[in-house]
Structure 1
Amino acid sequence: MRAKVDKPRETALKILYDINEKGAYSNISLNKYLNSLEFESVDRAFITDIVYGTLKWQYTIDYLIEKFSLIKIKKISPWILNVLRTGIYQLIYTDKIPVSAACNESVKLAAKYGHTASSKYVNAVLRNIARNKESLPYPDRSKDTAHYLSIKYSHPLWMVKDWLDLFGDEFTEGLLKANNDVAPFTVRVNDLKISKKELTDILAEDGFEVENGKYLDEALIIKNPSAVQKIEAFAKGYFQVQDESSMLVAKVLDSKPGETILDVCSAPGGKSTHIAQIMKNRGTVISRDIHEHKIKLIEQAKERLGLEIIKTEVFDAAVLDSKLVGKLIGFWWMLRVPVLV
């Protein structure tokens, strides 16, 4: 008889499979599973941590799999690969999960989503990593600083190289460390429907701990955001879940009522809806994306927030109209700035 798997870990595995293998948005897939199943708040937090933590450190985790596995990543089945990723995340990047729990629960998942050999393989890799946790084989910094920093802090090599060229070693490492800090959960007040004070009071009445954002008036930080998208205030369009750094984009753009704005890669709609909100719902925001199912996410957001000026289009941003290209080249030629087409 197969051992019973841990439901929160299995749910995290399914979410990561959706993200890594099906191209799902992390927040949407997470909410889909959390809203469809009854979990206690502690389990919701655990699932969220495994999903986002594994994604954040996946670059490093995959490097370690290559180092400790006799099977190349490309030959590992997607389910087993994601079991390994979640197991390694629990072993290395959490301090409250015992090694035995991380390994044993991963082995159970491997048995369910693979076969007997899969569970033995997962057990061997995870136990080996656990034994070597204090001396993991990171790249030699003295020989290749960029590769070391890339793996150590789980960032793409090309990005690290660019930052090293621009900022130098010390600042780049500090930037990489800061980039791995957990960002606060923020929402954007829809001031077309409600004031910031009114929304803050509603959230407090619903049991949420709320404080002002760091940079923007319309931003609120929610300390305990579990199930916030299931409350009535969300359904009524009083707020949109959006990172504060993402909100800054629309602020910098500084669009005005009556203008026409084109968002060429807009799903799931955070920036487009913010732009429309700043424009006081007057003008036109053309929101494009290459995938029909992602366009539906924008449609849902604009309807919930009451933003009639957003027009959605399925469109490939990599394909430019020839007349538009000509106008762009002419415009940049007048400014004596090169344009890549």
Structure 2
Amino acid sequence: MTEGNRKPSGNSGNGGNGMKSKPKARHGHKRPANGGGKPAQTAQTGQQQPGTRKAKSPRELAMDTLVKVAGTGAYSNLQLNRTLQDAGLQRADAGLVTELVYGTIQRQATLDYWLSRFVSKGLHKLEPWVHQLLRMSAYQLLYLDRIPPHAAVNEAVTIAKKRGHSGISGMVNGVLRSIDRGRGELQASDIKNADPIVQIALRHSYPEWLVGRWVAAYGAETAEAICAAGNEHPHSSVRVNTLRGSREEIIGLLKAAGYDAVPSFIAPAGIAIDRGGNLADTDGFREGLWSVQDESSMLVAEVVAPKAGMQVLDCCAAPGGKSTHLAELMGGKGKVWANDLHAHKRDLIVTQTERLKLRNVEAITEDALKLAERFKPQSMDAVLLDAPCSGFGVIRRKPEIKWTKTAGDVSDIAAVQQQLLNAVCGLVRPGGVLVYSTCTIEKDENEQQVARFLQEHPEFELDRNWPEAIASQLRQAGVIGEHFDGQAQLLPQHFDSDGFYIARMVKRP
């Protein structure tokens, strides 16, 4: 491998899951570093806004956010954005709120496993805010080294006194002090169960039905590695606008600005950045030198491999990351049609193309199922269907996904994907390319979806003609082997990036 490139993590089984020793607290670290919302980007550097009521503490704000996410099904990143916008916190406090919200949601099954030992009347009888307060406080005690135990306990008791009566505050105090005293024995990696699915689910905090699917699909060892990787903090990464500069030049700019930036191991235009913060709030981003994107996501346009002058359709394009990447790879020549169903999402695409100074992208609004009515048959050199999916590849950025999705959701979305593939495939010219991608690791949505499509559409075949720079790195990491046929499933532990599936197909001449 090239010196300085980011190495694949090598996580497998229990390796690298960090369970024996608590992960370091990461105040100010934005968990959804790319593509999953930017919950801490709205934090202000000024003081809390004055008001008629006393400002809430960061922990109370985090608890309120957790209650709303659990009670209403709100997306954690959107609810957190609203909370931080309203509160106007200092950067460190905003980072604490972010860490508590994402970490508590992420680890809630394991936290409940421990809490059930100490809450005599049962967790199901607790009021929602009390339950979330205990979860959040236990998370601090068991997973965040840099928060003093007394601070976590005392603040929880203060909130309990403010919100409830003395009995509740006494119970909260007793439960948390018991957890604090027993911290040495409350190690998730020591949880044992005769059923490996239950054991993985409790150790890594996932629903049993989902672990069971992954064990059936990948085996117990790989399934546990998937779960462990999904609990890791995502690192930041950017995609260089190669029309504006080389990767080496942009790395130099980032290093000069104090960032720990290295070439991506897998994405030719990618740069991995440790603790990058909000990279969308930088001069380089505003000037169109780079886009914020996960490294796995960057591979999709590379696999399409468009050439200058081509006609390319991105069927489900918002917010525009892949469309703009396609346009950059085409050298700004030809046309990328970037479609989305909603007008407000089309506006996001336009914003990106203007920022990057791309003139070969046309953003349109249409139901992807009706694109064949808008364009002539066989009029596209390449069609990209980055399909809506269950999103299980991005759990580290959106941890509530594992608690809100169901097996029925997977079946429902797979049916939509099938309809979309059937609707857009006729737009590909003979000899043209159809790329299908998702940010999930579900075989029903990926390999089986493509196998069914190919059976129903024999005019298409898988194409292993991927860019060699990408294929060689995937082979080196063991993602693809000698029987590679043109489709690849990246798991989150492979490169510490999002789980992504990509299939390249060509239409027979």
Q: Percent identity?
A: 30
Residue 220 of structure 2 corresponds to 169
| Counterpart pick for 1:147 among 198, 222, 225 | 198
| Counterpart pick for 2:164 among 115, 118, 131 | 115
1:2-13 equivalence runs, <5 A:
6-7=57-58, 9-13=59-63
Residue 259 of structure 1 corresponds to 311
CA contact (8 A) 2:324 2:358 kept: yes
CA-CA distance at 1:183 after TM superposition: 3.5
1:225-304 equivalence runs, <5 A:
225-257=276-308, 258-264=310-316, 266-281=317-332, 282-288=334-340, 297-304=348-355
Residue 84 of structure 1 corresponds to 134
Distance in 2 between residues matched to 1:110 and 1:321, nearest whole Å? 50
CA-CA distance at 1:216 after TM superposition: 1.7
Kindly indicate which of the two structures has a greater share of residues assigned to helix. 1
Distance in 2 between residues matched to 1:311 and 1:295, nearest whole Å? 6
Residue 58 of structure 1 corresponds to 108
Distance in 2 between residues matched to 1:60 and 1:314, nearest whole Å? 43
CA contact (8 A) 2:346 2:363 kept: no
| Counterpart pick for 2:458 among 327, 335, 340 | 335
- Cα 1:67–1:231 shift into 2, 3 Å: same
CA contact (8 A) 2:84 2:94 kept: no
- Do residues 324 (structure 1) and 376 (structure 2) align? no
TM-score under structure 1 length normalisation: 0.73
TM-score under structure 2 length normalisation: 0.52
- Cα 1:5–1:110 shift into 2, 3 Å: farther
My pick for the range that moved more, 50-59 or 322-331, is 322-331
- Cα 1:330–1:184 shift into 2, 3 Å: closer
1:102-148 residue CA offsets vs partner (Å, 9 max, x unmatched): 12223334555x43366555445434443444445979744311011
1:143-222 equivalence runs, <5 A:
143-222=194-273
Distance in 2 between residues matched to 1:85 and 1:238, nearest whole Å? 42
Aligned residues: 330
CA-CA distance at 1:152 after TM superposition: 0.7
Distance in 2 between residues matched to 1:28 and 1:212, nearest whole Å? 33
- Cα 1:174–1:294 shift into 2, 3 Å: same
Comparing both chains, which one has the higher relative contact order based on Cα–Cα distances under 8 Å and sequence gaps of 6 or more? 2
Distance in 2 between residues matched to 1:124 and 1:92, nearest whole Å? 16
Residue 101 of structure 1 corresponds to 151
CA-CA distance at 1:285 after TM superposition: 3.8
CA-CA distance at 1:66 after TM superposition: 5.8
CA contact (8 A) 1:187 1:239 kept: yes
CA-CA distance at 1:149 after TM superposition: 0.2
Distance in 1 between residues matched to 2:305 and 2:335, nearest whole Å? 14
Task: Please state whether the residue corresponding to 1:237 is helix, strand or coil.
Answer: coil
CA-CA distance at 1:212 after TM superposition: 1.8
Structure 1 gaps of 5+ residues are none
CA contact (8 A) 1:299 1:312 kept: no
Q: CA RMSD in A?
A: 4.3
CA-CA distance at 1:157 after TM superposition: 2.5
Kindly indicate which of the two structures has a greater share of residues assigned to strand. 2
CA contact (8 A) 1:44 1:226 kept: no
Structure 2 gaps of 5+ residues are 1-52, 369-387, 389-412, 427-449, 461-509
1:208-231 residue CA offsets vs partner (Å, 9 max, x unmatched): 232222222321122342343322
Distance in 1 between residues matched to 2:169 and 2:328, nearest whole Å? 51
Q: Which amino acid aligns with 2:257?
A: D
Distance in 1 between residues matched to 2:82 and 2:331, nearest whole Å? 29
